[in-house]
Chain A
């Protein structure tokens, strides 16, 4: 055991937590008993577990998921504990799936609870508990399982990707983007990883509504340095989607018009790239949030 710890330390990591031990044992939560052994899917094995949508997990940073089924009488539950690469990755998945959050009063961590499913995020863990039968009586069990898991998770500082964005975004619209799958959910600028986020650069995006520009999306990405940010803008300009027409490309600013006659712009200031999409009118010079808005 000591040797294993030393070996892990030599590799620069820490011994992996057995996530199955974080999930309730038999009888530990509302009398639920485990139905079979926990299954673990690591890395690309996630495709063997998720029925569509695994790519976004892998893009933002996925390590493994531990899946445990439970039974109590007629009720059947499944708990899925996703160990993500970092708290921002966990929050990214939570935000993409939580919809209009409907929390249960009995649970302190950020979560949303319903009859069929409970989703929770804490640190680098994203937890989904599913009520497989859909029985109304099964819904409280979801909370019990989530509470038991959350109690075993260490307290970590919550990710705050939205700190780079100006206040006032529309509720529920905050998203974290680290690659083309996440970006594609918001806007199509071109094929592939057109913003060159590479799974490592974190962008925050949200929807805003103002009288002049209408309802639109603002995305802010901070690259490692100014050269990388400028290279990303240049890559977009060179590979702009065929459905978009460039209106102006002046050094660090690119303005385009989309197929529906709406506008978008990208601008670089230092290492920050700002994208606004779906603008009701030609925006003129884009407003770039200052870097000191970042925490």
Chain B
């Protein structure tokens, strides 16, 4: 997994506004970005990756799929969203019901099952599509309250995503979350004007760990469709080449991860639990949408820094979107008023995928249910990372 740490060597700058817009496109586009629209492209199965290296590393005590493989809890409450407003108190109640139903025990014991008080816990939110269809701050409030009430210092909690501008736009600011660290893997300089240091290096290079990589042979971040040029690509992805480095926050900064995805489609698939981490724990992802796309959602989660730290997944479906995702499209957003819980992100995504397909059909969307849109979940099951077979998944529903 150790790869040479290759610094980028060009230096044009991009305005923050340009970058944020483009970054949204990259992180959100899923099936579309980087895809040559009219060209025949290699199949995902034809690309060699370093997945086998991950599998050689012995699993940690908290490794996926965690203590509850195949168990998914769905908590709904009609009072959670009223007139487009999220009720934080109701969300807090839903969160407790969800955790207790998942673990079968009280909140304190649940905490001890998944955390210790000296953990550094990363809350991976999804800010794309704010404010309609991003992770709601009220959900993050509930998680923080649970952690702090059980003895975790507030300073040991980190709300994180790839891009700081998007975090801010989605409401994850120091003012809203005092005492909690808010970190992005990719940042500009302190003045917020340049992606490069004076010596031409990318400001965020040091945020990535040369010791942990996701390699996709022959899939390079150069000449990727959808980017004006390679420099534009580097400003969004920090590195090019066939290697994606994991964020140091993930590899060394955090000891546990709570994955707080939003509930939305991306084309015929979903952009929920596994994509929220698969495309955010590493850099240089624009190259991966084609040809790997969903496969990344499994293989990055198979890497020990994620596999051994991801202890809880909560998919925020207070608002949900059944078409036009992963960015917001108001026409297809509805108040689902639901939270989903699992230690097993693959079972969780299979449940949500199945339910979203049913919703899409009910709303008259012509749905393509080709297996390729869920193959990555079955791949995860074959690797022992989770459960994808619906017959083996237990869905517990709670209506408050």
Contact = CB atoms under 8 A, between A and B. Distances in A.
Contact of A53 (B84, B327, B330, B364): B327
A98 interface: yes
B368 A51 contact: no
B32 A56 contact: yes
A112 B267 contact: no
Tell which of B40, B84, B333 has the most Cβ of chain A within 10 Å: B40
Contacts of A50: 25, 29, 327
A181 B35 contact: yes
A180 B25 contact: no
Contacts, number: 144
Contacts of A170: 364
Contact of B331 (A48, A54, A119, A185): A119
Interface string B202-226: 0000000000000000000000011
A162 to B, nearest CB: 14
A199 B37 contact: yes
B118 interface: no
Contact of A51 (B28, B84, B131, B323): B28
Given A185-B267, A191-B40, A198-B38, A54 B366 contact: no
B56 interface: no
B21 A49 contact: yes
B93 interface: no
Q: Chain A: interface residue count, which band?
A: 35 or more
Question: What does DSSP make chain B's interface, helix, strand, loop or mixed?
Answer: loop
Interface residues of B, number: 49
Contacts of A165: none
B337 to A, nearest CB: 17
B266 A116 contact: no
A188 interface: yes
A280 to B, nearest CB: 14
Interface string A104-132: 00000000101111010000000000100
Leading 7 A-B pairs by shortest Cβ distance? A192-B40, A116-B330, A51-B327, A52-B28, A55-B32, A188-B370, A51-B24
12 contacts: A47-B33, A47-B227, A49-B25, A51-B21, A52-B28, A52-B327, A99-B332, A171-B364, A193-B37, A198-B38, A217-B366, A243-B370
